[in-house]
Amino acid sequence: MSNFSYSQYIEGESIYGLITNYHVASCNRSWKQTNLDIFGRTHVRLHPVLPNNINAIAQFFKVEPVYLLNHATGYPLYAFSLSNQASKLKKVLLSAKGQLIASYSRQAPSSLPLAKQHRYCAKCIEESFETFGTLAWRIEHQLYGVSHCPEHGEPLLYLSSGEGGINRHYCLPEGGEPILLEQNEKAVRLSIFVTKLYHLLQEGNKSRSVIDLYTDWLMIKGFLTKCGHIRMRFLADELFNYWKELFEATEELIPLELSNFNYVADIIHERRPVHYLKHVLLMAFLAKSPQDFFALSKVPKPAPELLKQQDSALESNVLKLLDDGSSLREISASLGVSVGYVKQLALRNNYEIDRRRWKLTDEIERDVWRKAFVGCHRADIAKHHGISVGTVEQLIQSHKGLSDWRHHMVMAKRRAKNRAALLQAIGTNPQITRNEFKRSFSCYMWLYKNDREWLYQNLPAPQAKKYYPSVDWAARDKFLAIKVKCLPAESKSLSELDRALGGHGWLLHDAKKLPETMKEAAKILENSMGRKIVKD
Ligand SMILES: [Zn+2]
């Protein structure tokens, strides 16, 4: 069957990409035919990251199923976060049991509401065309959290998948929309980290327990108390500051609910499996790369007494350097602790924190707040005053409520964008029904979740339910009329006649819908009556 050169699996390609190239090369007119070739049935929907039916696909393309699972799907990342429950997901993905995926993918990605997209990088596509002569969808671009090409650093382009998008069609990576237009360093960082972690997990040689690694990293970075507890509030604040840019993007790159870092406790105390994105947000904050994260050799656990001594030794070193007039950044670099840790310590010991006051007049400070308040971008504010983005950040943080306000502003911008999109969509499609709307426009779901009252006020009015009779009574009437005409026996009553026709009660209850039949019935009844009178 698979005698096309295009039906060979290319390393790094996604399952959807593999089948799309087969589909194109086979010249099948419809996706249904392609599905028939591969699966023996027409209706198969392939998830961009976690497709099932892997056994059938592997057999068709003559590849090892487990190889395909680890190299053409997002499975390694999910297996990592599901740990001992991963085997159940593996079984489902290998099989054809699509209905289980629904319940399983809820478990696997922890129900994070993520956009359904097929993504590609224009440069990678060019390269794959030159090298292999195909336009390949790459699996690493499909992974959740990847918005930029890890190789070229450019924003990916996407086609919407699912209903209202590509749906079941097999489309080549062409004509997509760019994911976001603003520069976002943290989005690039996240994309690269997710991809590197994915490749590292494919090799599958984790030597130490992840929880131990987290604990050691947290200790090194100064997030553990003397008794070994996590400084949770401090950690959550630092995590938020680190990833802020990601959540401030006008296009939703990752769900906003991830900006509440409470789930870090779930990870470290192993309370429940969490989505791999949550792991990545913590890991990428602690270590430079996944390789660095896993390469940390065991930090010997000192006795609590010793730990206390070490902690206080570190603290006194920090305080000494502060006394010497070193900056927070210098101390952080020389002692290998985070700037936040140094700052917290300085504040606790009543040190005047270096906020570059020699440069920041009260006037500038007020203007920064004012600009932040009306929603100016931090980079623009920094540029305007010739100060660093970090300083602007610090000022925003120091103003109680401003951070919340800016979060509110981001939501307000998104709301305005989605409201405008909805009104425009209604304007250009005045006949559209609410259901079609739901399927075709992503603004519907956003508004449904975040702005429901407004949505219902502005949607086209629900259309009155139309009655579509399930029976063609006219046809039934003709058919029954002939049947009645041909009835051999005479009938004394309408009920008897109805019984002769099968006893459906049609002649008794639906007489109005059967004018022809009733005419014939009346003739028969009249005849019977006539005969009866003659006999008498
Ligand atoms: Zn690329």
Q: How confident is the model at residue 285 (pLDDT cuts 50, 70, 90)?
A: very high
pTM, two decimals, is 0.61
310 lies in the same domain as 453: no
Phi, psi (degrees; rounded to nearest 5) at 178: -70, 145
Q: Domain span at residue 339?
A: 303-354
Q: How confident is the model at residue 57 (pLDDT cuts 50, 70, 90)?
A: very high
User: Is pLDDT of 56 > 80?
Assistant: yes
Ligand 1 centre to CA of 174 (Å) is: 14
User: Is pLDDT of 403 > 90?
Assistant: no
Separation between Cα atoms, residue 499 and residue 485, nearest integer Å: 15
- Bridge partners, residue 160, by sequence: 117
Ligand 1 centre to CA of 149 (Å) is: 5
Q: Are 453 and 431 in contact (CB under 8 A)?
A: no
Ligand 1 centre to CA of 256 (Å) is: 26
Residues 440-454 have pLDDT tens digits of 777 888 888 888 889
Separation between Cα atoms, residue 123 and residue 415, nearest integer Å: 33
**Closest C-alpha to 258, from 246, 271, 273, 250:** 246
Residues 326-358 have pLDDT tens digits of 888 888 888 878 777 888 788 777 777 755 445
Ligand 1 centre to CA of 213 (Å) is: 31
pLDDT higher at 305 or 1: 305
Ligand 1 centre to CA of 127 (Å) is: 9
Ligand 1 centre to CA of 236 (Å) is: 33
pLDDT higher at 147 or 350: 147
pLDDT higher at 56 or 477: 56
374 lies in the same domain as 310: no
Ligand 1 centre to CA of 61 (Å) is: 26
- Any idea how long the chain is? 536
Residue 286 falls within a domain, yes or no? Answer: no
137 lies in the same domain as 12: yes
User: Is pLDDT of 367 > 70?
Assistant: yes
413 lies in the same domain as 522: no
Cα distance from N-terminal residue to C-terminal residue, the chain: 82
Q: Are 173 and 166 in contact (CB under 8 A)?
A: no
Ligand 1 centre to CA of 322 (Å) is: 45
Q: How confident is the model at residue 492 (pLDDT cuts 50, 70, 90)?
A: confident
530 lies in the same domain as 420: no
DSSP 462: P
**Closest C-alpha to 274, from 286, 285, 262, 284:** 262
82 lies in the same domain as 117: yes
- Bridge partners, residue 230, by sequence: 224
Percent pLDDT > 70 in the chain is 88
DSSP 511: G
Ligand 1 centre to CA of 79 (Å) is: 26
Phi, psi (degrees; rounded to nearest 5) at 163: -65, 140
Ligand 1 centre to CA of 129 (Å) is: 13
Q: How confident is the model at residue 487 (pLDDT cuts 50, 70, 90)?
A: confident
Residue 244 falls within a domain, yes or no? Answer: no
Average of pLDDT values for 398-427? 82
Residues 84-119 have pLDDT tens digits of 788 888 988 898 876 556 566 555 555 566 667 899
388 lies in the same domain as 426: no
Of 98-102, 209-213, 358-362, the poorest mean pLDDT is in 98-102
pLDDT of residue 391: 79
Ligand 1 centre to CA of 138 (Å) is: 9
Ligand 1 centre to CA of 118 (Å) is: 14
423 lies in the same domain as 499: no
Ligand 1 centre to CA of 421 (Å) is: 30
27 lies in the same domain as 147: yes
Total structural domains in the chain?
Answer: 5
116 lies in the same domain as 26: yes
Ligand 1 centre to CA of 53 (Å) is: 28
Ligand 1 centre to CA of 371 (Å) is: 36
Ligand 1 centre to CA of 88 (Å) is: 33
Q: How confident is the model at residue 175 (pLDDT cuts 50, 70, 90)?
A: confident
Ligand 1 centre to CA of 431 (Å) is: 41
Most confident of 46-60, 251-265, 318-332: 46-60
Average of pLDDT values for 64-93? 89
User: Is pLDDT of 4 > 50?
Assistant: no
Residues 221-234 have pLDDT tens digits of 888 887 778 888 88
Ligand 1 centre to CA of 192 (Å) is: 11
Separation between Cα atoms, residue 143 and residue 19, nearest integer Å: 18
pLDDT of residue 239: 92
Ligand 1 centre to CA of 200 (Å) is: 19
